[in-house]
Structure 1
Amino acid sequence: MSDFTKAKSVRFRGGGFAPKSHKGIGLVAFIVLITLAEIGTRYGYISALTLPRPSDVLATFQQLYETGLLWKHLLPSLSRLIVGAALGVTVGIGVGVLIGLFSYIRAGLVPLVAAIFPIPKIALLPLFIIWFGIDEGSKYALIAFGTFTPTVVATYGAVDNVDRTLIRMGQSFGLSWFSIVRKIVLPGAMPGILSGLRISLAIAIILLVAAEMLGAEYGIGAYILEAGSLYDLERLFAGVVILSVLGVIVSAVIGLIERVLLRWRT
């Protein structure tokens, strides 16, 4: 038997190679990292001015929870993130699909999207404050605008990458334009759209912090800004950890959506 036939078979799925799930490895790596940080800061290998003890950060979390400040800062941030990201993602997916399907819309909007995509969205915050005021409107607008452009680019790119053979097959079976879009184009583009959504929501969290650092009494960004101005590393790292956990939760939610919508790939 040749070496080729002896080679281990490669499992495939509709979207590519089938990944294996190794549960627990990420948690172990996280625990090891925190343990090393605790040992290093406790025994003086790492300066307290550089990194606070993880145990002290945990005590800060407990204090935040007991005093109720955790929810006073977290709930406004979640509200701003959900509203702003929902607006940006919804409009972005709609515009991206239209660009992918209609050549005239593509010709008109792609140059505009290409022009505004590289603009640092944080730099536009003063402009949004002038337009929408210093209250919630400017924060919603910044997050929505920041998630809009990457969602548009990811969406029309995903539509473009749908296998044209499948579209021609649908046409040969006499499917209508609407049926081809609903049954072939949108399901085929969904993996790319969801991948782009991960990036868009990560950008939304970054812009949330930036928006809350200007003109917000409560919010994770305002909490981090206050802690940084006082050089309170325990509170500063507590805020950073909250943002990190928020990012993990967002990623897990998108993963759940992928498992529901992309069951055909398994």
Structure 2
Amino acid sequence: MTQKTILITGCSSGIGYDAAHGLREAGWHVFASCRKAEDCDRLKAQGFDAPQIDLADPESIRSGLAEVLAATGGTLDALYNNAAFACPGAVEDLPAGALREIFETNLFGTHDLTREVIKVMRAQGHGRIINCSSVLGLVGLSWRGAYVSTKFALEGLTDVLRIEMRDTPIKIILIEPGPITSKIRANAIPHFEKWIDTAHSPRAAQYETLKSRLYEDTGPDNFELPASAVTKKILHALTSANPKPRYYVTTPTYLMGNLRRLLPTRLLDWVIAKG
């Protein structure tokens, strides 16, 4: 039996790193891509094919995918779009440049890679594309406007793509994790420092509380699960004959998904603000 192949973006740590290891253990040929060359080298030392793909760089997307296809003979069974980052800050303090930067990776680069992979999957007559959204693609949360906006956009784009692909053998799937053990908080610090002028913000005092959470490791969040909880859902999405359009991961995602359907907007806002 031919070994199934999958390209995963954002494998340097967290969800992508665990998915790469978990899927390899399940028998997949994993192409574990990273943005930085040193992270690719680390994964290569662990036995992975690890193409360098920076989603903010169109040439990197093309060359990274070309490397994958050269190794597979021009085919690819699955794509897991995982790479993303956060830029904390109040919406009123977010410069347009911060939004452009985060959308380049979290949405535009993901979209560019997806379009190229669809061409491959159409030609071979099958494929699965899994996009990693978030509970923050379902509801908003204070200080996370930049990240939330990219995930809301990814949700909408994925929903339409799923509908449009109904007449093809390509399956389109969303994974929606809540709090998962990862480095997303620490990785957000450089973006926060680059773009948010806390000293001149009308919310300067409130930023002190945000900084304490951002800079200090206070341990797991409530209901936090290991990244392996996401990998388990990815495996189901890849192997099920009829995968779900959406896979929730963690209690907060199930809770917020239900509350969004059931509660009036003002009441939902109150619940989230209090939470």
TM > 0.5: no
Which has the larger share of strand?
2
Looking at both structures, which has the greater relative contact order when contacts are Cα pairs under 8 Å and sequence separation is at least 6?
A: 1
* TM-score, structure 2 normalization: 0.27
Which has the larger share of helix?
1
Bigger-Rg structure (1/2): 1
* TM-score, structure 1 normalization: 0.28
